Amino acid sequence: MKEPSPPLKIGPIDRRIALSQQIYDRLRHAIDAHLLRPGARLASARALASELGVARGTVESAYQRLAGEGYVLARGPAGTIVSPHLAQQPARQPAKATANARLPVDPGAMAASPEPPLPLQLGIPALDAFPRKLWSRLATRRIRASSPPELSYGDPRGYLPLRQAIAAYLLVSRGVPCRPEQVLVTGGYRASLALIVQTLLRQRDRVWVENPCYPPTRTLLERAGAIPCAVPVDDEGLVSAEGVREAPKARLAVVTPSHQAPLGVSMSMPRRLQLLDWASRHEAWIVEDDYDGEFHYHGPPLPALKSRDTTDRVIYAGSFSKVLFPGLSLGYLVLPEGLTEQFSASVQIWPNYVARVTQAIVADFIDNGHFSRHLKKMRALYANRRALLAAALTDAFGARVTIDLARGGMHLVARFAGRASDETLARRAQRAGLSCQALSPRYLGEAKQEGLLMGFTNVATAQEAARLAAALRDALAVGNVSA
């Protein structure tokens, strides 16, 4: 038997209309609209009668009518369920309910079942390689061990054992010295950036953003009333001198120094020192978005920018969405010592709650050594999958494609010879079911590079890589698909 659907709130009864008819209409509407799915258990007649303030026989009459029409099955002591046979029938038009029996439909409740990521989709880790059984064991153990106090809201700064685990991991793996008091757990990168903006910025404050950049960064800043100032990126990362020339008194800079999003270049040490010097001299803040710094494939990995922050101007932003799975919606900030009290006050005002049990499971995952082993496995896996996709694209397109292979990251940039723009090529690929993204729209201003961004993390085999490359070749052929 399937798990029961969430309780359906039928709402108050209108005493001017036949009570049994109202209950019948509402339940049938819920079944036809798939709010109550096949196999879902209905409330007992006694419980529903008590909730609605009607006689038990009134509810039983409605249930009997629904059973007679094949909507529900009565299973004695096991209760009454929506008929499983309805799953094999086409969706019915909802029955007309009485004027006072309309049910609002929640679009979220009608959402389609989760789908696998689209081929070549950006920013999605290798979901097939995530240790789901191990995660399930940790989750089950943690939930069973939960005490009543652990079911409360908890500290808005985050679950302390998780903050301790993050601090230990960052010190060892990323060279970021910090105390748990400086770590703040958030609902992911966007939640982290929103909290920073709400805490530190005033209307029309200027903010350096990389050009090109991760689009949600620019959008969030604009909607918060800040003014993004596009600072160019070259082979060494952010050109700080251009930022100083354009907006020397900017309040904030948002950068991706490990692997620039989207070009993938790593910020050189001289550029890092220039950026830190600017922040120190102008009392500005730097947000280091280290979204995938763990995935480095060749050459010595550069330490986090935060590890060189001698004047305490860097706010380090990390995320578990790229290293574990995006459904976690879990990120964190490492704050300068001087900002801990200010941000502790902010999280008392701005919503920042992440389920405490989720945080506890992640803490167990880290503390038991699973996190470091998972990262090691993913680095080797991603290096292989990137090589597979790059080789397949080269075989399919030959000299017509140039592939940028940066030191690390989770996507590559492919540049195609020809007259069609990258936006046109991206549309053609997307029509063929391939989730390629154009590079040029991520720029502000006229000076733009072009190319297609492709995620390689879920390309599992050489055969799959060859199939995707062939599908892309066919999609991009001008004679086959219109612009």
Q: What's the rounded Cα separation, in Å, for the pair 220 and 321?
A: 19
Q: In the 8-state DSSP scheme, what is residue 78?
A: G
Q: What's the rounded Cα separation, in Å, for the pair 199 and 352?
A: 13
**Which pLDDT value is given to residue 20?**
85
**Which pLDDT value is given to residue 286?**
98
- Domains, the chain, ranges and CATH? 19-110 (1.10.10.10), 153-368 (3.40.640.10), 376-476 (3.90.1150.10)
**Which pLDDT value is given to residue 480?**
42
Question: Taking the CA of residue 103 as centre, how many other CA atoms within 13 Å lie in the half-sphere pointing to its CB?
Answer: 27
Measured on CA atoms in the order 188, 194, 196, 199, is the torsion positive or negative? Answer: negative
**Which pLDDT value is given to residue 16?**
61
Give the pTM: 0.81
**Which pLDDT value is given to residue 146?**
86
At 13-55, the pLDDT tens digits run 566 668 888 888 888 888 888 888 888 888 888 888 887 888 8
Q: What's the rounded Cα separation, in Å, for the pair 379 and 237?
A: 23
Please name every residue paired with 49 in a beta bridge, in sequence order, or none if there are none.
none
**Straight-line distance from the first to the last Cα atom of the chain, in angstroms, rounded to the nearest whole number:** 50
**Which pLDDT value is given to residue 293?**
86
**Which pLDDT value is given to residue 389?**
98
The identity of residue 207, as a single letter, is V
Q: Which residues in the chain show pLDDT less than 50?
A: 1-9, 90-113, 479-483
